[in-house]
A and B are shown apart, each in its own frame.
Chain A
Amino acid sequence: MAPIDIVVLAVIGIAFVAVCVRIYRKGTCADCAQGGVCMGHCSNKKTCAALKGVDKIAEDLGRGIK
């Protein structure tokens, strides 16, 4: 494996982790601003309806699982 391969893989790996963290914090949707629901810059689990719903789905599915 050439040095450039390691660099490219590292960059992709970092970008991938950054995206995963963003999805965890802000969800997969970037379009809420269209509905006047939020300004698109500050969505988080407290204000984003989509994320609140996703959390509830996770709770529903996880109920009874120990």
Chain B
Amino acid sequence: MADSQIHVALAGNPNCGKTTLFNLITGANGYVGNWPGVTVEKKEAKLLSDKNVTITDLPGIYSLSPYSPEEQCSRDYLMSGEPDVVVQVVDATNLERNLYLALQVIETGLPVVVALNMADLVEKNGDKIDTDKLSKKLGCPVMMISALKNKGITELFEQVKKSAASKGQVPEHKFDSSIEDVLTHIENNLPASVPANKRRYYAVKLFERDADACKLINLTKEKAARVEELVAQCEQDCDDDAESIITGERYGVIAHIIDECLTKAPTKMSTSEKIDRVVTNRILGLPIFVVIMFCVYYIAVSTLGGTVTDFTNDQLFGTDGWYVLGQGRDAYDAAVEAAGDNADSVDPAQYGPYVPGITTVVHDALVAGGTEDGGLVDSLVCDGIVGGLGAIFGFVPQMFLLFVMLSFLEDCGYMARVAFIMDRVFRRFGLSGKSFIPMLVSSGCGVPGVMATKTIENEKDRRMTVMTTTFIPCGAKLPIIALLMGSIIGDSSTTAAWISPLFYFLGVFAVIASGLMLKKTKLFAGRPTPFVMELPAYHFPAIRSWALHVWERCWAFIKKAGTVIFASTVVVWFLSNFGSYNGAFGFLPAMEGIPEEFMDYSVLAMLGNLVAWIFAPLGFSTWQATALTVSGLVAKENVVATAGSLLSVADAGETDPSLWTAFAGMFPTMGACVAFGAFNLLCAPCFAAIGTIRNQMDSGKWTAIAIGYECAFAWVIGLFINQFYNLLVLGQFGIWTVVAIVLLVAMLFQIFRPMPKHAWTDEDETNTASAAVSA
């Protein structure tokens, strides 16, 4: 066996630590979230210590009954014949619930090794598990491990290799004798082709009337009738349906095993339970969440993150340059002030250890190499590429801080509580906390967020979640938020620090308002899906996992900047620097007699002006603002990169406006600037996310509805902001103010009108009711 390939499947309940174990043993960086439903499809990688071993991480499931896509995916894989051995990861702190799936997996007849994960927590709680006895009861090896602390892993895989050589086992656990009799009869009716170690599994499945198993076994008519007769008789005797009988029996076996193998320490309220009494409190839960998210965005964007970003934007990528440890800065500033109009003649290098900005270095190198100062190549490199990418890279420090805090909240277990808290809010409009999980994932990226909707069984709930999940600002939208905040508040960073958290809550508001409005339409009516989730114990995140989490997200951002954003900045530069003036087409800055605002004659200006009228009621009908919005469809970071290129910030001298003020200058009022931000944060997501929506919806019509709704909702919110700002602050009233008032009244009516009866009824129930009425 040593030289041949071994396929190992990692199975287990949601949030029992499968992906943490998978990452540890394969060196992979799969996303680990401290809430259920993170892994929605199986993942494969080689074992680090032995490349002959292939590990498959299966989605977390509670049972092998194929009721959800994850259960189907896991069951199909286990029964495909591919895995040589199954490592059943069990949360040892929650043995009773986790053993249910373990029994089912053992029943499949595959060689199984049970890994009791979180051994450290069991020890900490003072509980004791007799692994030898448990192993005997289950009929397979049982090992104590801690994936988080890397304990017992080597021993586990030594055992896995031994078990892979075996041909599987017949389950040891037995049900009540009357049920066992029926199962034995069913086993006797199975075709001889079913191997001995799988006969029990198929007998149980046929007892449960599992459609897939019935199809696969394909009994003769007589035998099928005999089996059905046996099951029906048993149901009658037990006064219960077949599936419930087996479920009850399994829990009976589990109770017996727990009695014999687990010694519980005297129960006392754990730290997690004490924290949860406050954090998930019916009244305090939501305000605490709001305060925490406010602090996260405030710290990331307004304080430390903002300071580092200012340095990166203005001094590292800008033309300011910087003094090492600030030595000489004061003397230089004094010299510039004294020089007055001749400030340009002051050489910063004379006053201390001065390091010029990247734009200056690149520009000087190009000019020294023979490039024309301000010519095509100089402009393309400095204004287009360095300006565009510099604007994006400037936000990496803010993004890093945001991800450090969000990842901490996820890994320590708080975000799982948020799903629980939000369940109460979401239930009011027919969604469940299950829909909040994709939204949590979306705070990183909308693509996996939309994919995470796979776990929602109800089709209408899934569609509504897909339509609303990208309202939550993803990492790529953070630069837009930071740019807007900088533009709106200018230097007064303390007076309007609430701006950046406000944009996050705008996303949450959009989800809730959309849910309330859409649920009252027939398209989304239906009973909310029940939501049951285990709340993991709070723990300080493993540094490796936390660091990987942050690194993955930041690296994805940097990778995108170096690929998609780079290509976009080149395209935007060409479109904004080439155009026709006086009947001639060419490089505009080099044309004779062209005004200083040469970009107004560019191809980009022409294209932007074609659609700019759509945004006139929102207050930003300039071609530049339109170009930013459209470029955001490629990737949301592009909004900032395009702003960097179009506003020629890289070329700005010290007295020229910075990125913030140049950006704010594009808008006539602050209302228009905020409306621009709201529209760009809420409208259709990037192409990658649109593609994922198409894939998840599996319908062109529904994709069009989703994208159309998002754009229309974003436009209406932008209209409200601009028109009500004009009315309330500037005292302006016009036809669009009337339109905004009418739309606001309509929206409020749809939000606050009582939920119609059909909103809580499933379509099949309606049909049954109508059939009964007509009868």
Interface residues of A (CB under 8 A from B): 1-5, 8-9, 12, 15-16, 19-20, 22-23, 27-40, 49-57, 60
Decide yes or no: A8 and B445 within 8 Å by CB, A2-B370, A36-B40 being known contacts.
no
Q: B692 to A30, Cβ gap below 8 A?
A: no
Q: How far is the CA of A15 from the CA of B366 in the complex (A)?
A: 18
User: A34 to B564, Cβ gap below 8 A?
Assistant: no
Q: Tell me whether B703 and A37 are in contact (CB under 8 A).
A: no
Q: How far is the CB of A64 from the nearest CB of chain B, in Å?
A: 13
0/1 string, B441-481, CB within 8 A of A gives 1: 10011011101100000000000000000000001000000
Which residues of A lie under 8 Å from residue B553 when comparing CB positions? 31, 34
B593: min CB distance to chain A, Å: 23
30 A-B pairs with C-beta separation under 8 A:
A5-B376, A8-B381, A9-B377, A19-B563, A27-B688, A27-B691, A29-B447, A29-B560, A30-B556, A32-B447, A33-B29, A33-B31, A33-B552, A33-B556, A34-B441, A34-B444, A35-B38, A35-B40, A35-B448, A36-B30, A36-B41, A37-B451, A38-B43, A39-B28, A50-B689, A56-B691, A56-B700, A57-B691, A60-B700, A60-B703
A50 to B690, CA, bound (A): 7
B 40-71 contacts with A by CB, 8 A: 40-41, 43, 45
**A50 to B452 alpha-carbon distance, docked (Å):** 13
Q: How far is the CA of A2 from the CA of B377 in the complex (A)?
A: 10
Give me 15 other A-B pairs in contact (C-beta within 8 A), A19-B567, A54-B694 excluded. A4-B371, A9-B380, A12-B381, A12-B570, A16-B566, A28-B560, A28-B564, A33-B29, A36-B19, A39-B28, A40-B29, A49-B691, A52-B691, A57-B703, A60-B694
Q: Are A35 and B449 in contact (CB under 8 A)?
A: yes
Give A4's nearest chain B residue, CB to CB: B369
Q: How far is the CA of A34 from the CA of B548 in the complex (A)?
A: 10
Give the residues in chain B near A12, CB-CB below 8 Å.
380-381, 385, 570
Provide the residues of chain A in CB contact with B30, threshold 8 Å. 33, 36, 39
**Cross-chain contact A53 with B570 (CB below 8 angstroms):** no
Alpha-carbon distance A3/B185, docked complex (angstroms): 88
Q: How far is the CB of A14 from chain B (nearest CB, A)?
A: 12
Q: Closest 7 CB pairs between A and B?
A: A35-B448, A29-B688, A53-B691, A53-B695, A31-B445, A2-B370, A53-B694
Which residues from chain A contact B695 at a C-beta distance below 8 Å? 49-50, 52-53, 56
Interface residues of B (CB under 8 A from A): 19, 28-31, 33, 38-41, 43, 45, 366, 369-372, 375-377, 380-381, 385, 441, 444-445, 447-449, 451-452, 475, 552-553, 556, 559-560, 563-564, 566-567, 570, 634-635, 686-696, 700, 703
| A/B pair count, beta carbons within 8 Å | 162
What residues on B are CB-neighbors of A40 within 8 Å?
Answer: 29, 552, 556
* A51: B residues at CB distance < 8 A: 691
- Contacting pair B31 A53 (CB below 8 A): no
- A41 nearest CB across to chain B (Å): 10
* A29 and B445 contact, CB distance less than 8 A: yes
Q: How far is the CB of A5 from chain B (nearest CB, A)?
A: 4
Q: Which of chain B's residues have a CB closer than 8 A to the CB of A54?
A: 687-688, 690-691, 694
- A20–B700 alpha-carbon span in the complex (Å): 26
Q: Taking chain B's interface residues, is the majority helix, strand, or loop, or is none over half, making it mixed?
A: helix
Given contacts A30-B560, A33-B29, A53-B693, contact A4 B40 (CB under 8 A): no
Interface residue SS majority, chain A: helix
Shortest Cβ distance from B502 into chain A, in angstroms? Answer: 25
Given A29-B688, A34-B552, A35-B452, A49 and B38 contact (CB-CB distance below 8 Å): no
Are A50 and B563 interface neighbours, CB within 8 A? no
**Distance A49 CA – B372 CA, assembled complex (angstroms):** 46
Residues of B contacting A3 in the complex (Cβ-Cβ under 8 angstroms): 370
Q: Which residues of A contact B687 (CB under 8 A)?
A: 27-28, 54
Q: Is the CB of B448 within 8 A of A22?
A: no
Within 8 Å by CB of A34, from B31, B371, B566, lies B31
Query: Quick check: B552 and A28 within 8 Å, CB to CB?
Result: no
* A2, B369: Cβ atoms closer than 8 Å: yes
For B552, what are the chain A residues with a Cβ–Cβ distance below 8 Å?
Answer: 33-34, 40
Q: Taking the nearest CB of chain A, how far is it from the CB of B578, in angstroms?
A: 14
Q: Which residues of B contact A30 (CB under 8 A)?
A: 556, 559-560, 563
Contacts of A49 in B (CB 8 A): 447, 451, 691-692, 695-696
Distance between A26 CB and nearest chain B CB, rounded to angstroms: 9
Whether B567 contacts A23 by the Cβ 8 Å rule is yes
User: For residue B447, which residues in chain A have a CB less than 8 angstroms away from its CB?
Assistant: 29, 31-32, 35, 37, 49-50
Docked pose: A56 CA to B184 CA in angstroms: 50
B2 to chain A, nearest CB (A): 27
Question: Which A residues are CB-close (under 8 A) to B690?
Answer: 53-54, 57
Complex: chain B residue closest to A22, CB-CB: B563
Chain B hits for A39, CB < 8 A: 28-30, 43, 45
The closest CB in chain A to the CB of B692 belongs to: A50
Q: Smallest distance from the beta carbon of B275 to chain A beta carbons, Å?
A: 27
> Is the CB–CB distance between A35 and B564 below 8 Å?
no
A29 (CB) vs chain B CBs: closest residue? B688
Nearest B residue to A59, CB-CB? B700
Chain A residues with CB under 8 A of B563: 19, 22-23, 30
Report Cα–Cα, A49/B45, bound state, in Å. Answer: 20
Cβ contacts under 8 Å, A9 to chain B: 377, 380
Q: Is A53 within 8 A of B556, CB to CB? A: no
Q: In whole Å, how far is B40's beta carbon from the nearest beta carbon of chain A?
A: 7
Q: Is the CB of B451 within 8 A of A15?
A: no
Contacts of A38 in B (CB 8 A): 43
How far is it, in angstroms, between the C-alpha of A51 and the C-alpha of B385 when the chains are bound? 27
Determine if B567 and A20 form an interchain contact, defined as CB atoms under 8 angstroms apart.
Answer: yes
Residue on A with the closest CB to B31?
A: A36
Q: Which residue of chain A has the shortest Cβ distance to B570 in the bound complex?
A: A16
| Most chain A CB atoms below 10 A, which of B385, B475, B635, B694 | B694
Q: Which residue of chain B has the shortest Cβ distance to A27 in the bound complex? A: B688
Residues of B within 8 A of A23 (CB): 563-564, 567
On whether the beta carbons of A36 and B43 are closer than 8 Å, the reply is yes
Q: For B368, give the chain A residue with the smallest CB separation.
A: A4
Cβ B445 vs Cβ A34 within 8 A:
yes
Closest CB in chain B relative to A53 CB, distance in Å: 3
- Choose among B29, B38, B371, B691 the residue that contacts A2 (Cβ–Cβ < 8 A): B371
The answer to whether B694 and A31 touch across the interface, beta carbons within 8 angstroms, is no
A56's partner among B41, B380, B564, B694 (CB-CB below 8 A) is B694
